[in-house]
Amino acid sequence: MAHISCPTALVNAPLHIVWKLFTEPAGWTEFFDIRVMRVDPPGSAIVGQRVYGESGPGFMHFRVTIDYTEIDQTRGKIGMIVKLPLGITVREDLSCSAVGYNQCRVNYRCDFDLPTGGRGAIVRLLLRRELNFGPADSLTRLKRAAELQVCGVNLLL
């Protein structure tokens, strides 16, 4: 059972700022809904790198793993596989392209693979809103973080 969400946004920041936010997973806690626990190997994104984190409210700790599967800076593309609780796997394809010197367009394509059968139907019913809202919220947070950096507020310390 699958669900696809494809938000897009125009970001008022140069492409290199957005690219840096995408490829520095240790800083994601500042703007994505994930508490990054470990990045293996540490450093900027490379294919095969794994990010270990948690999501959810402070009292709940849902484990999340993210594997970089594609990084193509020339074409502005990043591919990731995200494993979430409840048997949910997400194939995320992110792309960004310059619209001008100080603007870029960012596209997310999130292909959610949900469990099959009755369990999948329950997961879809319980998370229906989050399947659409989550990717759009992540994109909004990324946009805000990039635009704050243009104003001189550095989220990646």
- Within 8 A by CB and 6+ apart from 104, the residues are 10, 11, 13, 14, 15, 18, 96, 97, 98
Round to whole Å and give the CA distance between 152 and 155.
9
Q: Which residues pair with 68 in a beta bridge?
A: 80
Q: Are 65 and 54 in contact (CB under 8 A)?
A: no
Question: Prior bond to 41 cis, omega within 30?
Answer: yes
Each residue of 6-19: pLDDT tens digit?
Answer: 999 999 999 999 99
> In whole angstroms, what is the distance from residue 128 CA to residue 131 CA?
5
What's this model's pTM, rounded to 2 decimal places? 0.86
The per-residue pLDDT for 128 is 79
pLDDT digits (tens, 9 = 90+) for 69-79: 999 999 999 99
Domains parsed from the chain with CATH numbers? 2-150 (3.30.530.20)
